[in-house]
Amino acid sequence: MAIGPEELTGSGASTVPTLNGHRKYHTAETPYSLPSGTDESEWHRLNAQHYGLKAYWRGNNAGAKWPENPKKILEISLGSGVWAMEVAEQFPGTEVVGVDIVEPRMKRSPPNFSFHRLNVVTDTWPFAPETFDIIHCRFLCMHIPEFQALVKKAIDATKPGGIVMFEDPDLAIKSDYRPVPAQVALFFAVYHGFHEFNGVDARPGPKFAPLFKASQKFSEIHETAVSLPMGDWTEDQALNSAGMGMRSGLVDGARGQSPRMFQFGMTREIVEGMCQEVLKKDNKLHYDMYFVWGRKRSICM
């Protein structure tokens, strides 16, 4: 059960301004609790996740059947920018557009890539219907309120026959071998309490496919739920690669939470208690990551 702010405000509030004060966070009004893509440590964290998932899928398409010659691709929420950069290099004749609140610190920017500043929660949606052949969105919906509206906008902005991809977790840590450690449960009670207080569903993954289906705009819909190990303890090396990347993402992300999370009741002790339990291979913790893609009907209903 999530903990509310009334249970979590305490005498530690006076120390909040010094927590992670050296990190770079979004200045826009947003419940996003992690550093921005311009923060060097966050850049490395996001890349660890990207390369882990890329190794698992053996590419950037996450199982989706892309058009052979897409003309225009959109990535919503660039993060470190690595996915968009690699896709732009994969398709040098394709216009690749990336949007985010801040421009990430990309090592290189292919000539067919362009960045546009966009707050998907507060800004007017700038894209006309049926603009893109591929739209990709990963690790965003778990951080924003009313993510369903963004899914609808993405579907509308996709061309008939085009591909829509959404990827996010059902962020509930599980163990098949023993009870989830109390320190892990406490961290996520505070984490989910913070997000619920801000109107954010941090477990959107299982909700994408039903939203796609309800739109009645797809000729095919595919959902893959991958149970990601927090470590390399499975016999599947590709899964271990994804798990190690995502474990790094979880641990480094927890340690980099914004001061607002600490104002809500998070403490260093809670964070480190969770991280140490996640890093113990014997706990064999995991959570489900959802990869959902659909092909838009050539003639929409």
Q: Containing domain of residue 125, as a range?
A: 5-296
- Strands of the 132-138 sheet, one edge to the other: 113-117, 95-100, 72-76, 132-138, 158-175, 285-296, 218-229
Longest dimension (CA), the chain: 60
| pLDDT in the model for residue 5 | 34
C-beta neighbour count of 71 within 10 angstroms: 15
Q: Does residue 221 sit within a domain?
A: yes
CATH number at residue 221: 3.40.50.150
| pLDDT in the model for residue 11 | 30
Q: Does residue 291 sit within a domain?
A: yes
C-beta neighbour count of 157 within 10 angstroms: 21
| pLDDT in the model for residue 258 | 74
For residue 19, give the nearest of 186, 190, 188, 255 by alpha carbon: 255
Instruction: Tally the domains of the chain.
Output: 1
Q: Does residue 301 sit within a domain?
A: no
Digit-by-digit pLDDT tens for the chain (301 residues) are 333 333 323 333 333 333 444 434 345 555 554 554 455 667 788 888 999 999 999 999 999 999 999 999 999 999 889 999 999 999 999 999 999 988 887 878 899 999 999 999 999 999 999 999 999 999 999 999 999 999 999 999 999 999 999 999 999 999 988 899 999 999 999 999 999 999 999 999 999 999 999 999 999 999 999 999 999 999 999 999 999 999 999 998 888 877 788 888 899 999 999 999 999 999 999 999 999 999 999 874 4
Q: Is residue 216 within 8 Å of 8, Cβ to Cβ?
A: no
| pLDDT in the model for residue 71 | 98
| pLDDT in the model for residue 118 | 95
| pLDDT in the model for residue 30 | 56
